[in-house]
Amino acid sequence: MTDLTLKTWLSIQERPARAGDRARLAAVTVCGLAVLLMLVCLLSLTTGASGSSGWAVIESWFGLVDKSDPAVLREQVIIYDIRLPRMVLGILIGAGLAVSGVVMQGLFRNPLADPGLVGVSAGAGLGAVVIIVLGATIAAPLVALLGIYTLPLSAFGGGLVTTLILYRVSTARGQTAVATMLLAGIAIGALAGAITGVLVYLANDQQLRDLTFWGLGSLAGATWVKVTAAGPIIAIAVASTLFLAGGLNALTLGEATANHLGVPVQRFKNIAIAAVAAAVGASVAVSGGIGFVGIVVPHLLRLVIGPDHRFLLPASALLGASFLLGADAISRVIVAPAELPIGIVTASVGGPFFLWILLRRRDRLAW
Amino acid sequence: MLQARDVSVAIGNKTIIHDVSFAASPGHVTTIIGPNGSGKTTLLKAICSDLAYRGEVTINGRNLNSLKAWQAASLRAVLPQSTTMSFPFTVREVVALGTTAGRSGVDDADSLPERALDRVDLEGFAGRFYQDLSGGEQQRVQLARVLCQVWQPVLDGQPRYLLLDEPVSSLDIKHQLAIMEIAREFADAGGGVLAVLHDLNLAAMSSDRILVMRRGNAVAFGAPDEVLRDEVINPVFECNLKVGALPRQGAPFVLPQSARA
**Chain A nearest CA to B198, separation (Å):** 22
What pLDDT is recorded for position A366? Answer: 47
Average pLDDT, integer, range A225-253: 90
DSSP secondary structure string, A217-273? --STT--HHHHHHHHHHHHHHHHHHGGGHHHHHHHTT-HHHHHHTT--HHHHHHHHH
Average pLDDT, integer, range B205-223: 94
Largest CA distance in chain A: 70
**Chain A nearest CA to B18, separation (Å):** 22
Nearest to A350 by CA among A327, A319, A318, A322: A327
* Residue A307 sits at the chain B interface (C-beta within 8 Å): yes
Statement: A50-74+99-360 belongs to CATH 1.10.3470.10: yes
Q: Please, what is the average pLDDT of chain A?
A: 82
Rg of chain B in Å (alpha carbons) = 18
* Residue B11 sits at the chain A interface (C-beta within 8 Å): no
Rg of chain A in Å (alpha carbons) = 21
Answer CATH for B2-82+157-260 from 1.20.59.10, 3.40.50.10490, 3.40.350.10, 3.40.50.300: 3.40.50.300
CA separation for the pair A286, A128 (Å, rounded): 9
* Residue B80 sits at the chain A interface (C-beta within 8 Å): yes
Domain ranges of chain A: 50-74+99-360
Beta bridge mates, B3: B23, B58
What pLDDT is recorded for position A358? Answer: 72
Q: Going by C-beta distance under 8 Å and a sequence separation of 6 or more, which residues neighbour residue A179?
A: none
Tell me the percentage of chain A whose pLDDT exceeds 70: 89
Residues of chain A with Cβ-Cβ distance to B90 below 8 Å are 20-22, 306
Amino acid found at B234: N
Q: Which of A81-85, A352-356, B62-66 has the lowest mean pLDDT?
A: A352-356
Beta bridge mates, B195: B31, B164
Of A20, A252, A364, the CB nearest to B127: A20
Most confident of A50-64, A137-151, B3-17: B3-17
Number of cross-chain residue pairs from A and B with Cβ atoms under 8 Å apart = 103
Residues of chain A with Cβ-Cβ distance to B128 below 8 Å are 20
Residues of chain A with Cβ-Cβ distance to B96 below 8 Å are 21
**The whole model's pTM is what?**
0.87
Hey, of B50, B85, B86, which one would you mutate to test binding to chain A, going by the most A CBs within 10 A of its CB?
B86
Exposed / middle / buried, residue B235 (Cβ in 10 Å: 0-12, 13-18, 19+): exposed
Report residue B217: phi and psi, to 5°: -115, 150
Phi-psi region of B218 (alpha: psi -120 to 50; beta: other; left: phi over 0): beta
Domain ranges of chain B: 2-82+157-260
CA separation for the pair A103, A301 (Å, rounded): 14
pLDDT (tens digit, 9 = 90+) per residue, A29-47?
999 999 999 999 999 888 8
Element (H, E) at B7: strand B2-11
pLDDT (tens digit, 9 = 90+) per residue, A95-144?
999 999 999 888 877 777 777 777 888 888 898 888 888 877 887 887 77
Say what the ipTM of the complex is: 0.91
